[in-house]
Amino acid sequence: MTRFAAPIAEQIWNMKYRFKAADGAAHDLTVEDTWRRIARALAEVESDSATWEERFYEALEDFKFLPAGRITAGAGTGRKVTMFNCFVMGTVPDDMGGIFDNLREAALTMQQGGGIGYDFSTIRPKGAEVLGVSADASGPLSFMDVWDAMCRTIMSAGSRRGAMMATMRCDHPDIEAFIAAKSDPARLRMFNLSVLITDPFMDAVREDGPWDLMFDGRVYHTVNARDLWNRIMQATYDYAEPGVIFIDRINAANNLAYCETIAATNPCGEQPLPPYGACLLGSINLAKLVSNPFEGAAALDEEALSRLVATAVRMMDNVVDASKFPLEAQAAEARAKRRIGLGVTGLADALLMVGLRYGSDEAVQQTEDWLHAIARAAYLASVELAREKGAFPLFDRDAYLASGTMKAMDADVRDAVAKHGIRNALLTSIAPTGTISLYAGNVSSGIEPVFAYSYTRKVLQKDGSRTEEEVVDYAVRMWRDKFGDAELPEYFVNAQTLPPEDHVKMQAAAQKWVDSSISKTINCPEDISFEAFKNVYLQAWDLGCKGCTTYRPNDVTGSVLSVSETSNSAPGETAAQVPGGLPGEGGDVIYMSEPLDRPTELEGATYKLKWPDSNHAIYITVNDIVLNGHRRPFEVFINSKNMEHYAWTVALTRMISAVFRRGGDVSFVVEELKAVFDPRGGAWMSGKYVPSILAAIGGILEQHMVQIGFLEGEGMGLKTDPQAQVVNLGGAPKGPACPACGEFGMHMVEGCMTCGSCGHSKCG
């Protein structure tokens, strides 16, 4: 009997979390081996390691506690990788040497698998005088371009591309350029962007007053606060970025306000962190703790919840000692404060199991009660750890108890902290759980509503045949097991049928008992008016949220999944069908569980690229395969007589060919290459400026794809399928094709573009 509730769960485990040797041989033969490996590794720091190994294993068993992916993939493997998911880097100094020192630190961190956050407010604005060199500053966005290029070249641990968050204060002179940056689809693609909103700015917005843009004490411009707010809102209405972070509220509530100031977050926003701060994440799977689901006596077992939380806190505290760190400054920061981020997943499923409609007043109150119980259990467990192992080194009893979060904490918890101290400065955070939620059987993600109750994955096998695999939400599958084809009750709702106000109410209810922050996406209908859209953000401010991220499907962010009604659909329930991948394919996206075998013969073309100032030409050969009567790129060969090019041309040949052989929408390869710039300068070719040799190669690949009919035209992405009808029956928003599996299942979840089919996340 397998422990996996669905085939996709086992596939996620095998692909992302199973410990394998370099040659592919599996060390973890079963998921039980994975749990045992993690439990043993995290118990090694205990004096009674055998006892705690068993308790840790019990917490992991049956997917009850889900450590973040870095822990699950890295613990006990002996690999020199960090088990911390994300970092906020050091404060960027306003000088060239310091800026590039920080770039180096960022590269080292991403190389070990960490996503990073940066506040670029510390760099002087564009046009400001640079003393001593008779020049004007290029501004923070120019340096963000450099960071973006660096991130493109580094694949983080676990075959994940690095993720970055950039923040800028609402009073920085370059804030308007920062707000508009994502209007250029080729710029800053490796960054999430958020504006740091201060309390005085919100007051000025309410009063329709003036707002000074200043740096280093000098006022550069004065704008109307409401106009600036509207520009932020218009950008996120059109492009889903920038997000909004209420930074003064974050600092006021911080348990550590007495010894740190926060100006940035990790890439998904759930962890506001000081310079060199690190986020250590894990989630309690609430869907596994409901007894008698869908019955009158259905309830979450709060005693079991408290025990599980206490064990999880201990496990995560041990990770602080067991993990490697890319930089010594990060290790020192983590050990001085022992910050952890324990959150939840499966909340929406748990609410369904106890008969509550996500977003209703009853569900809002139940969410607050469950998160309160988790906070109490976590803080009391950390107090017990402090009694046993000591408080975190920077603990100051009076200052800590006077912090914003602790003022609202229960009296008995405050008394316990006052008497014994506390092991972990901050304990709770709700992180993106898209991949680990799939691994746990497709439970609802984080505190998000169920995204889609079911959808169909189409898998192209090596012989060219296709199989269909239904992916069903965990709670829906439980309902079917219990009641067969009985119609789902009316309280079953999904992300697309909920009004934005209900999303905000749920986020605010959870935030009351989360001492860090929450990664959540508020889904908005495409036809929401701009005024109603702005009100979502004002509601988030008024209800006490620490930030706000929305997603409105449109021509830029993505349109709509084509969906089909299922025979036993409740109101608003749909089974998502993934739309077109190839011309004339009738709406099917090609996803290959394994690469296709190479036929004996292939048709192709060879192109000559002569880069100016280079002694040797580069030759690019692209060979195609015909599937179901349609031609698509299958492999590429890049050759040059210049031996300085040998290593990177071979690497590019192998990487691009591997991507092409996986199928799906591979036009992103063109986009990625064309966006690479060479800091030494590009060249003019055929009347166009080409920023690098790699961009020129990308242009040739694009030219070839247009010629064979795979692309409609230059810069136009995947060729439209005239047979793929896009309809809106309450289904899920369609984003770009997933770069990992090719399916059009990318959607915004918890502030991050995530694939519902394979779990790939832009944020790592």
Choose, from 170, 268, 545, 548, the residue flagged as catalytic: 268
89 vs 116: CA distance, rounded Å: 7
646-660 helix and 667-674 helix, angle to the nearest 10 degrees: 150
Q: Could you read off the pLDDT of 315-362 as tens digits, one per residue? A: 999 999 999 999 999 999 999 999 999 999 999 999 999 999 999 999
**Letter for the amino acid at 536?**
V
Choose, from 266, 285, 318, 623, the residue flagged as catalytic: 266
212 vs 738: CA distance, rounded Å: 42
pLDDT at residue 15 in the model: 85
Which regions of 157-205 does DSSP assign to beta strands (E)?
Answer: 160-161, 164-169, 191-197
Q: Could you read off the pLDDT of 123-178 as tens digits, one per residue? A: 999 999 887 666 788 999 999 988 888 887 764 333 445 589 999 999 999 999 99
| Run of H or E including 563 | strand 562-564
Q: Does pLDDT of 487 surpass 80?
A: yes
Domains 1-85+280-452+471-495+509-520 and 91-265 are alike in CATH topology? yes
Whether 270 is a known active-site residue: answer yes
Compute the average pLDDT of residues 721-745: 44
91-265: CATH architecture: Alpha-Beta Barrel (3.20)
Whether 230 is a known active-site residue: answer no
Whether 86 is a known active-site residue: answer no
562 vs 717: CA distance, rounded Å: 19
pLDDT at residue 713 in the model: 73
Domain definitions of the chain by residue range: 1-85+280-452+471-495+509-520, 91-265, 603-707
Count of alpha carbons within 13 Å of 353, Cβ hemisphere only? 25
Output 693 or 689, whichever has higher pLDDT.
693
Compute the average pLDDT of residues 452-460: 74
pLDDT at residue 452 in the model: 85
* pTM of the predicted structure, to 2 decimals: 0.79
Q: Could you read off the pLDDT of 401-433 as tens digits, one per residue? A: 999 889 999 999 999 999 999 999 999 999 988
Comparing 233-237, 558-562, 598-602, which segment has the lowest mean pLDDT? 558-562
Q: Could you read off the pLDDT of 533-552 as tens digits, one per residue? A: 999 999 999 999 999 999 89
Query: If you count them, how many residues does the chain have?
Result: 764
Choose, from 270, 448, 573, 743, the residue flagged as catalytic: 270
Compute the average pLDDT of residues 204-220: 97
| Run of H or E including 251 | helix 247-253
Q: Could you read off the pLDDT of 66-114 as tens digits, one per residue? A: 999 999 999 999 987 889 988 999 999 998 899 999 999 988 888 777 7
pLDDT at residue 591 in the model: 44
Matching residue, tokens 């689901």:
293
Out of 1.20.1300.10, 1.20.1560.10, 3.20.70.20, 3.30.70.980, select the CATH number for domain 1-85+280-452+471-495+509-520. 3.20.70.20
Q: Does pLDDT of 202 surpass 80?
A: yes
Calculated CA dihedral for residues 471, 475, 478, 482, nearest 10 degrees: -130
pLDDT at residue 262 in the model: 97
